[in-house]
A and B are shown apart, each in its own frame.
Chain A
Amino acid sequence: MRLRSFVAAVAATAMGISLAACGGGDKNDSSGGGSGGDQTLTYWASNQGTSLDNDKEVLTPVLQKFTQDTGIKVNLEVIGWNDLQTRIQTAITSGQAPDVVNIGNTWAASLQATDAFLPFDGDAMGAIGGKDKFVPTALATGGKEGTDPTSVPLYGLAYGLYYNKAMFAAAGLQPPKTWEEMVTDAQKLTNPAKKQWGMALAAGSYTENVHFAFINAAQNKADWFDKDGKPTFTGDGNVQGVLRYLDLMQKDKVANPSNAQYDNGTKSVNDFATKKVAMVINQNNADSSIVANGMKAGEYGVVPFPAPSGAEQVASHVAGINLSVFKNTKHKDAALKFVKYMTDAQTQTTLGKPFSSLPVLKDAKPVFTTDAAEAATFQDVYNTKSKPLPLVPAEDQFESTVGKAMNSMFAKIATGGTVTADDVKAALKTAQDQVAAGS
C-alpha cells in the first residue's frame, strides 16, 4: 500500500514536471500573438556593450528591423558573462532552451560535444549565406576541426596592448615592440608612492588569466593539448609562459598587488581609463569602456601584445562571440534567417561600433574606432597574429582549472608569498589531473 502510493506520487510528480515543461515550451509560441503564421524566436544575447541595458538599447532597433523584414518576432534577453555559461548548461540539461544564443567562441568545441546544437551542415550553412562570407580563422572557431561547426562567428575580438600616450611622452618612451621593452617601460612608469602603476592586470579573473596562460605559452611554441586531445599542461613552455605573466606582479612589480582581486576585465580597463595605470592588455571591446570612463580616442594608442624577442609572434587568441542555434528549436528556418541577418554585412556594420567588434566577414572594414592606426593594429592582430584556443571538448575545463590555478598563484604573490617554476608546474599538474578526471 505504502509503496503503491509512493509510486503514484512519483508518477504524478513526473507528469507535473512534463506538463510544466510543455507549458514552458508553449509560452514562446503563444507570445507571438493571435494571427496565424506568426513566429517568435527567443534570443539570448551576451553582454557586449557597456551594460546589459546598453546592449538592449543597441539591439532593439536592429531586431525590430528584422521583424519588419521577415515578420518574425524576436524575444531578446541579454545575459551577463557571469551567468551565461550556467544558463546555457541549464538550457541544455533541461531542454528548455532559447532558439538562438550567443556563446563565447572558446566554448564552441565544448558545447558542440553536448550535441544540443544545430550543426551548420551544407544546407544550414547555405541558408545563412555560405561559409565563404566569413573570415576563415573566425569560422574555424565554430567547432572541432573537420566537423560541421555548431556556431558561426558574430563579433570578432583580439587582444592589444593599450598605452597612455601622454604618460609615455612624459617619460620619453616609445610603445614597446618586445616583452622586454614592455617590462622596462612599465617599470619606468611605476611609482607606487604616487599610486601609479605601469600595468593593470585582471589577475583575479580566471577567464582573463587563462587567455594569458594560453598566449604566453603559445609565444613559447607550447600547446595545452596534444593531437589526441590529451592535456599537456606541464610542459616547460607552458610553465615558463605562465610564470612570465605572473612575474609582471611578482618579479617586475609593475602591477598593483590589489589587482589579484580584479575578478573581471572591466576593473583593469577602468584603472587605465582613469589614468591610474599606463598600460593594459585587453580585447578591443575595451574601447567602449575606456571612452565611457572619460578618455578620448586620441589619448591612447594600441600596439600588438608583444612576445619576448626571438619568440613566436602570437599576440592574441582568436577571440570573439559566436552564434549558435539550439537543435531542439521549433523554428529552425526562422532561426537560420535570423543568423543570416545578424551576420550580414549591414548588421555587422551597425553593431560593430557600439560593441567595438572586429568584422567577421571577409572584405569588411573595422568600424569600431575612428583611429585608423588602432583599427589597423587590431585587424592585423586578428588576421595574422592570433592562434585559436584548443578546439577540443575539454577546452572549458582547461579554462576553469588553469585559470583558477592562476588566480590562486596571483593571490599568493599579492599576499607576500613566492611562486617558483616548480610551484607553477605543481599547480598545472593538479589542473591537468582535474581535466583528466573529468573526461
Chain B
Amino acid sequence: MSVATQEATPAAAKPAKKTKRGPEHRPGLNRWLPYLLLAPAVLAELLIHIIPMLVGIWMSFIKLTKFFIANWSAAPSAGLNNYKVALDFNNAVGEGLLKSFGVTVAFSLITVALSWVLGMAAAVALQPPFRGRGIIRTFFLVPYALPAYAGILTWNFMLQRDTGAVNHVLNQLHLSDGRTFWLIGSNALVSLITVATWKLWTFAFLTLMAGLQSIPGDLYEAASVDGAGNLRQWRNITLPSLRPVNLVLVLVLFLWTFSDFNTPYVLFGTAQPPAGDLITFHIYNASFLTWNFGTGAAMSVLLLIFLMIVTGAYLLVTGRRSRRA
C-alpha cells in the first residue's frame, strides 16, 4: 500500500509548479487560485496515499493477527516486536525478508539497466526520419498499451515447459533441448527480468524519444562539420542534453521495478519460486498467507524507509552534481 507513494510524488509536484505562473493582475484571486487548484490533488493524495500510509504505520505497531482482524481496536500493542521479527535475520521470517530483498535489488538494477539501454537505443535509432518510422514507433508502444495482466499472462503461457512457445522456438533453433523450466528454479529470475523489461522499456523509450526532440538539430550539424562520429555525438551531445530527463527517468524506473507486484503475482500465481520472490510479493504473502498483518505492515514500513533513503540520497547526489556542472 504505502509502497506506491513514491511514484506519485514527482507527478503530483509538476502541476504545482505551473500554477505559480498564473495571471498576475488580479491580486485577490491570485492569492487563492494556487490553493484552489491544488486542493483536489491534495485531497486525493490524502485519501489515496497519506491516510492508508498512516494506517499502515499504525498497523505495524499492533499485533494484528487472525485473532483480531474482525475487531482491530481490540488488537494489543506489539511495540517494536513486529520490527524485531522482520529484522531478526537469524530467524526464518527475517531471513526470508533479507533474501527477498537481495533478489529485489538484483532484479531492479538489471531491469532498470536493460530497460534504459533498450529504450535509449531504440529512441536514438528512430530519431532520423525514414519511411516506416511511425509504424515502428507505434509497434514499440504495444507492451505499454497492452493491459498488464493480459501481457504477463501471455508470457506465462509462453514460458511453460512442455507447451510454451519459448522452449519450442529454442528447440527448433537447436539452442536447447526444449526442456528448460522457466518459471521454477533459478531461471525464474531470468524470466521475471525479461517480462518486467518487456513491460518497462517502452516507457524509457517514450520518455527518451520526447527528450530527444528538444535537442536542437544544429548542434549535431556543427558536430558533424567538426568531424565527430555517431558515437561521439551521442556521448557529447545527446547524453548531456538528456541529463535532466535521465535523472527523473532512472529514479522512476527504479521505484517502479522495486515495488513491482503485478509481474510476479500474475507470472507465478500461487506457486512463486524463491528466485522470483520480489519484496512486495513477499510482504503480501507474509501478510495474507499467514494472516499476520502487523508483521506485514512492519515490513512495508521498512520498505518505505528504504525507498525514501534511496530517493533522498539519489536526489542529493545528482542535485549536487548538476549544480557543480
A-to-B contact residues, CB < 8 Å: 9-10, 13, 82, 86, 89, 92-93, 95, 110, 113-116, 204-206, 257-258, 260-261, 263, 393, 396-397, 400-401, 404, 407-408, 411-412, 414-415, 417, 429-435, 437-439
B69, A411: Cβ atoms closer than 8 Å = no
Given contacts A13-B51, A411-B181, A415-B185, 12 further A-B contacts (CB under 8 A): A93-B72, A114-B70, A116-B70, A261-B181, A263-B271, A393-B66, A396-B291, A397-B290, A431-B92, A433-B92, A438-B290, A438-B295
Q: Is B149 an interface residue (CB 8 A)?
A: no
Q: List 17 A-B contacts (CB under 8 A).
A: A110-B66, A114-B67, A204-B184, A205-B271, A258-B162, A393-B66, A393-B67, A396-B289, A396-B290, A400-B285, A401-B289, A404-B289, A407-B271, A411-B181, A415-B184, A430-B92, A438-B290
Question: Interface residues of A: mostly helix, strand, loop or mixed?
Answer: helix
B285-325 near A? 1/0 per residue, CB < 8 Å: 10011111001000000000000000000000000000000
A433, B93: Cβ atoms closer than 8 Å = yes
| A396 to B287 CA separation, bound complex (whole angstroms) | 12
Distance of A262 from chain B, by nearest CB (Å): 9
A432-B66 Cα distance, complex, nearest whole Å = 18
Question: Given that A114-B66, A263-B269, A414-B184 are contacting pairs, would A437 and B291 also be in contact in the complex, using a CB cutoff of 8 Å?
Answer: no
Report the Cα distance A415→B186, complex, angstroms.
9
A437 touches B160 (CB 8 A): no
Whether A415 touches B181, Cβ cut-off 8 Å, given contacts A89-B288, A113-B67, is: yes
Distance in angstroms between the alpha carbons of A148 and B67 in the assembled complex: 17
Q: Which listed residue, A13, A258, A408, A434, touches B290 by the CB 8 Å rule? A: A434
Interface contact A13-B47, CB-CB below 8 Å: yes
Contact B181 A82 (CB under 8 A): no
Residue among B51, B71, B291 making CB contact with A89, cutoff 8 Å:
B291
A208: shortest Cβ distance to chain B, in Å? Answer: 11
Chain B residues with CB under 8 A of A110: 66, 291
- Check B43–A115 contact: CB distance below 8 A: no
Residues of B within 8 A of A (CB): 43, 46-47, 51, 65-67, 69-72, 85, 91-93, 95-96, 160-162, 181, 183-187, 269-271, 273-274, 285, 288-292, 295
User: In the complex, which residues of chain A have a beta carbon less than 8 angstroms from the beta carbon of B71?
Assistant: 115
Name the CB-closest residue of A to B92: A433
| CB <8 Å contact, A437 and B92 | yes
Chain A residues within an 8 Å CB radius of B273: 407-408, 411
Q: Which of B47, B70, B91 has the most CB of A within 10 A?
A: B70
Shortest A403–chain B CB gap in Å is 9
Shortest CB distance B26–A (Å): 24
Q: Which residues of B contact A407 (CB under 8 A)?
A: 271, 273
- Residues of B near A9 (CB, < 8 A) are 43, 46
Identify the 9 closest CB pairs spanning chains A and B, nearest first.
A433-B92, A415-B185, A411-B184, A116-B70, A400-B289, A204-B271, A263-B271, A438-B290, A430-B92
Q: Given known contacts A89-B291, A433-B93, is B69 in contact with A414 (CB within 8 Å)?
A: no
Please, how many angstroms separate the alpha-carbon atoms of A321 and B96 in the complex? 33
Shortest Cβ gap from A204 to chain B (Å): 4
CB closest residue in chain B, given A408: B274
- CB-contact partner of B292 in A113, A258, A438, under 8 A: A438
Contact A437 B66 (CB under 8 A): no
Contact status A437-B184, CB under 8 Å: no
Query: What is the distance, in angstroms, from A256's C-beta to the closest C-beta of chain B?
Result: 8
- Indicate if the CB atoms of B67 and A115 lie closer than 8 Å: yes
CB distance from B155 to the nearest CB of A (A): 14
- In the bound complex, residues from chain B placing their C-beta under 8 Å from that of A432 are 92
| Complex interface: chain B residues within 8 A of A434 (CB) | 92-93, 96, 290
Residue of B whose beta carbon sits closest to that of A417: B185
Asked whether A93 and B288 contact (CB < 8 A) given A9-B46, A260-B181, A415-B181, the answer is no
Tell me whether B270 and A82 are in contact (CB under 8 A).
Answer: yes
With A260-B184, A263-B271, A411-B184 as given contacts, are A439 and B93 in contact (CB-CB < 8 Å)? Answer: no
For B288, the chain A residues whose CB sits under 8 A away are 86, 89
Complex contacts, A204 vs chain B, CB 8 Å: 184, 271
Alpha-carbon distance A437/B286, docked complex (angstroms): 11
The residue in A13, A115, A438 that gathers the most chain B C-beta atoms within 10 A of its C-beta is A438
Task: Report B-chain residues with C-beta under 8 Å of the C-beta of A437.
Answer: 85, 91-93, 292, 295
- Shortest C-beta distance, A11 to chain B (Å), equals 11
| Residues of chain A lying within 8 A (CB to CB) of residue B181 | 257, 260-261, 411, 414-415
State in angstroms the CA–CA spacing of A376 and B291 once bound together: 39
B95 neighbours in A (Cβ, 8 Å) = 430
A438 and B65 contact, CB distance less than 8 A = yes
A116, A206, A260: most-surrounded residue (chain B CB, <10 A): A260
- Docked Cα-Cα span, A430 to B95, in Å, equals 10
Residues of B within 8 A of A10 (CB): 46, 51
Q: Which chain A positions have C-beta within 8 A of B70?
A: 92-93, 95, 114-116
Inter-chain CA distance A408–B47, complex, in Å, is 40
- Distance A439 CA – B271 CA, assembled complex (angstroms): 24
**Which residues of the other chain, B, contact A116 by a CB distance below 8 angstroms?**
69-70
In whole angstroms, what is the CA distance A163 to B285 when docked?
36
Q: State in angstroms the CA–CA spacing of A397 and B67 once bound together.
A: 13
Contact B295 A258, beta carbon cutoff 8 Å = no
Would B270 and A206 count as touching, CB distance under 8 A? yes
Residues of B within 8 A of A114 (CB): 66-67, 69-70
Complex contact B66–A206 (CB within 8 A): no
CB contacts (< 8 Å) of A400 on chain B: these are 285, 289-290
Chain A residues, Cβ within 8 Å of B185 = 411-412, 414-415, 417
**In this complex, what residue of B is CB-closest to A93?**
B69
Residues of B within 8 A of A435 (CB): 290
Find the A residue at minimum CB distance from B183. A261
Inside 8 A of B69's CB, which chain A residues have their CB? 89, 92-93, 114, 116
A393 to B324, CA, bound (A): 61
Q: Hey, which chain B residues are within 8 Å of A95, CB to CB?
A: 70
Which of B43, B96, B291 has the largest count of A CB atoms less than 10 A from its CB?
B291
A396 / chain B contacts, CB cutoff of 8 Å = 66, 289-291
Cα of A206 to Cα of B285 in the assembled complex, Å? 13
Given known A13-B51, A408-B274, contact A401–B66 (CB-CB < 8 A): no
Determine whether the beta carbon of A433 is less than 8 Å from that of B184.
Answer: no
Instruction: State whether A263 and B270 are in contact (beta carbons under 8 Å apart), knowing that A204-B184, A438-B295 are contacts in the complex.
Output: yes
Cβ-defined contact, A261 with B270, below 8 A: no
Give complex CA distance A401, B93 in Å: 11
Chain A residues with Cβ under 8 A from B161's Cβ? Answer: 258, 261
Taking the closest CB of chain B, its distance from the CB of A127, in whole angstroms, is: 23
| Residue with the greatest number of chain B CB neighbours at <10 A, chosen from A263, A435, A437 | A437
CA distance A114 to B46 in the complex (A): 31
Query: A44 to chain B: closest CB distance in Å?
Result: 17
A381 to B67, CA, bound (A): 34
Q: Closest CB-CB distance, A399 to chain B, in whole Å?
A: 9
